[in-house]
Chains A and B, each alone.
Chain A
Amino acid sequence: MIINHPLLGPRDASEFVHMGDASLMHRPDPKSETAADDFYRYQYLRDNPAGLYAELWFHEQGDRSWLVVTRNTLTHEIIDVQLARHIARQKS
């Protein structure tokens, strides 16, 4: 498997560590009244789509960037790779 790193180009999957669903980027507001329920959902509930799926990968044997990799779970085709930091900054 090859991940096309936005800064470093195509890199072998063995350089990366996988964490899981990119929804983990969206940490709920701890001050919210519904924080307990929000964090429960954030921590434990995942979709299991047949098709496009965004996941977090860490370039541990590389530049230590966290990436958001969008993969088709039916074909393993990688559609899109972005720096997680870039996406997080746009959001905030």
Chain B
Amino acid sequence: MSLVDFDAPINFKFNGKALQGFDGDTLASALLRNGVKVVARSFKYHRPRGIMAAGSEEPNALVEIHASGVCEPNRRATTIKLFEGLDARSQNFVGSVDRDLLAINDLLSPFFAAGFYYKTFMWPRAFWEKLYEPIIRRAAGLGSIMKTPDPDSYDKGFLHCDVLIIGGGPAGLLAALNAGEAGKQVILCDEDFILGGRLLSEDIDVDGTPAADWAKLTAHRLMMMPNVRVMKRTTVYGVYDHGIYGALETRRDAIGLKTPRHILWRIYAKTSILAAGATERPIAFENNDRPGIMLAGAARTYANRFGVTLGDNAALLTNNDDGLRTSARHVLDVRGGESVVNTKGRSGVKSVTLNSGQSLPVDGLYMSGGWNPNVHLTCHKRGRPKWDDVLSCFLPDAGNLPADMKVIGSANGAFSTQAVFDSANAACKTLGIKAAMRPKSEDAPVKVTAFWHVKTKGRAWVDFQNDVTAKDIALAHQEGFSSVEHVKRYTTLGMATDQGKTSNVLGLAVLAQASGRTIPETGTTIFRPPYTPVPIGAFAGAHRGTHFKPTRLTPSHKYSAEQGATFVDTGYWKRAQWIARPGEKGWRDSVDREVLTTRGSVGICDVSTLGKIDVQGKDAGKFLNKVYVNTFSTLKVGRCRYGLMLREDGIAMDDGTSARLSKTHYITTTTTAKAGPVYRHMEFCRQVLFPEMDVHLISTTDQWAQYSVAGPNARKLLEKIVDPNFDISNEAFPYMACGQITVCGGTRARLFRLSFSGELAYEISVPARYGDALIRALMSAGEEYGAALYGTEALGVMRIEKGHAAGNELDGRTTAAHLGLGGFVSGKKDCIGKVLSAREGLNDGVALVGFIADNPKDTLHNGAHFSAELGKAGPNEDLGHMSSVAYSPELKHWVGLGFIAGGKSRIGETVYARDFVRNHHVKVKIVSPHFVDPDGERLRG
């Protein structure tokens, strides 16, 4: 009845050796078919390890998959669907997997007992980082990571359904059929590439036909239903709030190809049915980790599903009736007093020593310690499973499941196939879903006697992947670790990539025995997502490289790029930083030229990224009075005003200008960085704090392209663009005027006479779709004045020369007083932040001033701290810090802005600006922050 197509051979390589398997094989079954016993080396002791399981619980058979120049470690051989050209290699060894040089660790095992990290290698202290840790890291661990970017691609998807069924074994198939026939929107996820679960592994019948055939027919029926989505190779790895489930779909095992390898699904389900099955437990006895020692259920999977004979002289060690289904020459039932005390065979078990002293030559050993329901997903929302003495396993606590989750089948302790089917129909009934069929199958009672550990002197493995033995657990208990959570962390039990699927309950039982308690008294750890490992790449999906975040382009982006602009990321925006012209040797050349051209003639800069918020309504002015320290209700129509916004704690939040276009219409601007947060804050004020005001807000940042036109020739240039019926002379349109105009023969525009550069300047805006046309029109009109396009660097230089605060000054620690704007805080009215800005602690006399180097040739650095002397530097000597610096091409020396105790009262004094990062210490003079045109004659001209 094997489900492998022997007419479809598949060629693959294992450790460089060419081998052949068949379609339907996993890498594990193909390796067994080829007689490969040693597949990997263990984590700590480098013990030879083979294949122990047949599913995702496999702790031993971890391999690397290779493709041209790339590799992925820690793939379980049991979950890789064999494909043509697969290049799989063993991992975690030095030399060869058969003769691993690090196997010496096994001889040194007394040094590697539980907590060895904490006990050894402690002295001498300096040796830890330099010697011990690198050696341990090389010797221990699982696989090695690729240090190049992941060549694969990943995707994400979102799905909604009425019923999510997790697991496609007998329980899940029947539940899906019921829900599908009832007309529900159903998603059925299963981690395997064939639906059926244990039906594919056992030699049993359902309704008189072989179980695998029943599974195939039922799966076929489900795939024909338009309202059922069958997702094979899709593992539901996590349960989240409000019916949200995470699932990982594996599209292919090959790596380094272009199509997505994994898809991370977020599934929104009204109800879920957990049919995740159960996992068989190993039994702890001396040397139970040798290749050829396998879980009994896995042996049946390999025999029945894959048609792989593992040996005709195998022994079976079991504590339950289910194990007896396994065909083996020697049956050792612990309930009859038989057990295994040791095994022999370095690269594959050759003999077992029985408790009677007899030594049996064998070619394999199958063990069954009973089954653990896969309760993992019932714990993701803090559910704690309960111990069941009759079944000797933990069951989900029905009273403490994630809302709307039902658990059916062996995941809920129904172990016979008939009990599984019945539990599926019963759960569907509670959801109002009728049974579509009532299949008949074997109904053997569960007969199990708890049996965990054969105590001998040697090491008996509990956690195979993390190399934790029963002795380690006993030692942890002996050293005072009685809480199961502490034992877990001290011994690392259950903390490897398999998250203890085969080891947790066995470890718990060994701890219970060591401490003389029952299992319920010992407690249990619970599970967190993910159920099986999820590659980080799948969480990133397509959001990597340039797609990690959105990219916003300014209206002048294309033109700026044509001009050779270098762009800088400011949030999501790309802004022109400077625009190099031929012959310029570095960014400073370009920036100096842009500043001098602007100050000497005219420059144009894209300022569209500044936030724009449209404020309209009868109470618009009153509303702005609340959110800004300044008074806006008194602003005349056709005028602009600078505004400073505080947080409620009194710290400066943002600044900008507001223009009044009509009695009920203002346009406020924010800094580029704070456009989002300021809008959010203003909506909070409007909706929550002042709901009685008649005012509405909308962000128009993206709707308007806005350019600053600055310099002595700015007006002349604009007169060529602005339609002649609008008078923009100094008399008609003075400093801080604003108005709605038309440009270029009728295009709607807004004009603001604002200046950040300190020059005669305007900001002109048009609907964004005209932005590209306008920048070209402006630059072409400016040709006769030698107009320069300038970037954010020149913008920064000019604002520092003028002493304007920007992001470096509005850094979330400064108040209006610090910024020299204390006088703006209106005494007459309330505003956000006013009460708390008066707190004593915020009024410390620190204020923004200017700095120049005592020796004009010295450079300045921001971040430097001020102190009176060059000696000791510490908090007690600290007077403040430099926040912004620039080379002023107009003054031909560096200028800086900074905060210093005493502020303007210290102008004329000398202090030291000390930069311990760059090791640069400069004597600086405290000056006015207005370096260029301090009286503001230019901007009013």
Q: Tell me the complex Cα distance, A78–B242, Å.
A: 9
- Residues 831-870 of chain B, each 1 if its beta carbon lies under 8 Å from chain A, else 0: 0001110110000000000000000000000000000000
In the complex, which residues of chain A have a beta carbon less than 8 angstroms from the beta carbon of B689? 25, 27, 88
Residue of A nearest to B683 (CB): A64
Q: Tell me the complex Cα distance, A56–B685, Å.
A: 13
Asked whether B836 lies within 8 Å of A39 as measured between CB atoms, the reply is: yes
Residue of A nearest to B243 (CB): A2
Among A25, A36, A76, point to the contact of B835 (Cβ < 8 A): A36
Q: A36-B835, A60-B680 are in contact. Are A1 and B240 (CB under 8 A)?
A: yes
Q: Distance in Å from the Cβ of A19 to the closest Cβ of chain B?
A: 7
In the complex, which residues of chain A have a beta carbon less than 8 angstroms from the beta carbon of B691? 85, 88-89, 92
Within A1-58, the residues touching B (CB, 8 Å) are 1-2, 17, 19, 24-25, 27-28, 30-31, 35-36, 39-40, 42-43, 56, 58
In the complex, which residues of chain B have a beta carbon less than 8 angstroms from the beta carbon of A24? 688
Query: B894 on the interface (CB 8 Å rule)?
Result: no
Query: A81 on the interface (CB 8 Å rule)?
Result: no
Query: B687 on the interface (CB 8 Å rule)?
Result: yes
Q: Distance in Å from the Cβ of B728 to the closest Cβ of chain A?
A: 36
Query: B268 on the interface (CB 8 Å rule)?
Result: yes
Query: B648 on the interface (CB 8 Å rule)?
Result: yes
Q: Distance in Å from the Cβ of A14 to the closest Cβ of chain B?
A: 10
Query: B129 on the interface (CB 8 Å rule)?
Result: no
Q: Distance in Å from the Cβ of A89 to the closest Cβ of chain B?
A: 5
Asked whether B648 lies within 8 Å of A43 as measured between CB atoms, the reply is: yes
Among A42, A56, A60, point to the contact of B688 (Cβ < 8 A): A56
Within B791-847, the residues touching A (CB, 8 Å) are 830, 834-836, 838-839
Asked whether A36 lies within 8 Å of B838 as measured between CB atoms, the reply is: yes
Q: Tell me the complex Cα distance, A40–B36, Å.
A: 72
Instruction: Count chain B CB atoms within 10 A of each CB in A19, A39, A60, A77 and give the residue with the most.
Output: A39
Q: Tell me the complex Cα distance, A65–B242, Å.
A: 21
Within B466-497, the residues touching A (CB, 8 Å) are none
Q: Tell me the complex Cα distance, A27–B689, Å.
A: 7
- Residues 58-69 of chain A, each 1 if its beta carbon lies under 8 Å from chain B, else 0: 101000111000
Asked whether A2 lies within 8 Å of B241 as measured between CB atoms, the reply is: yes
In the complex, which residues of chain A have a beta carbon less than 8 angstroms from the beta carbon of B835? 28, 30, 35-36, 39
Residue of B nearest to A90 (CB): B691
Query: B101 on the interface (CB 8 Å rule)?
Result: no
Query: B692 on the interface (CB 8 Å rule)?
Result: yes
Asked whether A58 lies within 8 Å of B684 as measured between CB atoms, the reply is: yes
Q: Distance in Å from the Cβ of A65 to the closest Cβ of chain B?
A: 7
Asked whether A58 lies within 8 Å of B680 as measured between CB atoms, the reply is: yes
Q: Tell me the complex Cα distance, A25–B684, Å.
A: 9
Asked whether B241 lies within 8 Å of A1 as measured between CB atoms, the reply is: yes
Give the number of residues in A that approach B within 8 Å (Cβ atoms). 32
Residue of A nearest to B689 (CB): A27
Q: A1-B242, A85-B691, A92-B692 are in contact. Are A66 and B683 (CB under 8 A)?
A: yes
- Residues 683-705 of chain B, each 1 if its beta carbon lies under 8 Å from chain A, else 0: 11001110110000000000000
In the complex, which residues of chain B have a beta carbon less than 8 angstroms from the beta carbon of A92? 691-692
Asked whether A88 lies within 8 Å of B688 as measured between CB atoms, the reply is: yes
- Residues 238-258 of chain B, each 1 if its beta carbon lies under 8 Å from chain A, else 0: 001111100000000000000
Q: Tell me the complex Cα distance, A34–B630, Å.
A: 24
In the complex, which residues of chain A have a beta carbon less than 8 angstroms from the beta carbon of B403? 77
Asked whether A17 lies within 8 Å of B687 as measured between CB atoms, the reply is: no
Residue of B nearest to A92 (CB): B692
Q: Distance in Å from the Cβ of A45 to the closest Cβ of chain B?
A: 13
In the complex, which residues of chain B have a beta carbon less than 8 angstroms from the beta carbon of A19? 684
Query: B649 on the interface (CB 8 Å rule)?
Result: yes
Q: Tell me the complex Cα distance, A58–B836, Å.
A: 25
Q: Distance in Å from the Cβ of B430 to the closest Cβ of chain A?
A: 21
Asked whether B830 lies within 8 Å of A85 as measured between CB atoms, the reply is: no
In the complex, which residues of chain A have a beta carbon less than 8 angstroms from the beta carbon of B836? 36, 39-40, 43
Asked whether A85 lies within 8 Å of B244 as measured between CB atoms, the reply is: no
- Residues 658-692 of chain B, each 1 if its beta carbon lies under 8 Å from chain A, else 0: 00000000000000000010001001100111011
- Residues 12-41 of chain B, each 1 if its beta carbon lies under 8 Å from chain A, else 0: 000000000000000000000000000000
Q: Tell me the complex Cα distance, A85–B683, Å.
A: 10
Residues of A within 8 A of B (CB): 1-2, 17, 19, 24-25, 27-28, 30-31, 35-36, 39-40, 42-43, 56, 58, 60, 64-66, 75-78, 83-85, 88-89, 92
Residues of B within 8 A of A (CB): 240-244, 268, 381, 403, 648-649, 676, 680, 683-684, 687-689, 691-692, 830, 834-836, 838-839
4 shortest interchain CB distances as A-B pairs = A85-B687, A2-B242, A88-B691, A30-B830
Q: Besides the contacts A28-B835, A36-B836, A89-B692, what 18 more A-B pairs have beta carbons closer than 8 Å?
A: A1-B240, A2-B243, A2-B244, A2-B268, A17-B680, A25-B689, A27-B648, A39-B648, A40-B836, A42-B648, A43-B649, A58-B683, A77-B403, A85-B688, A88-B688, A88-B689, A88-B691, A92-B692
Complex A-B: 11 CB contacts under 8 Å? A1-B241, A2-B242, A30-B835, A35-B835, A36-B836, A39-B648, A40-B836, A56-B688, A58-B684, A66-B688, A92-B691
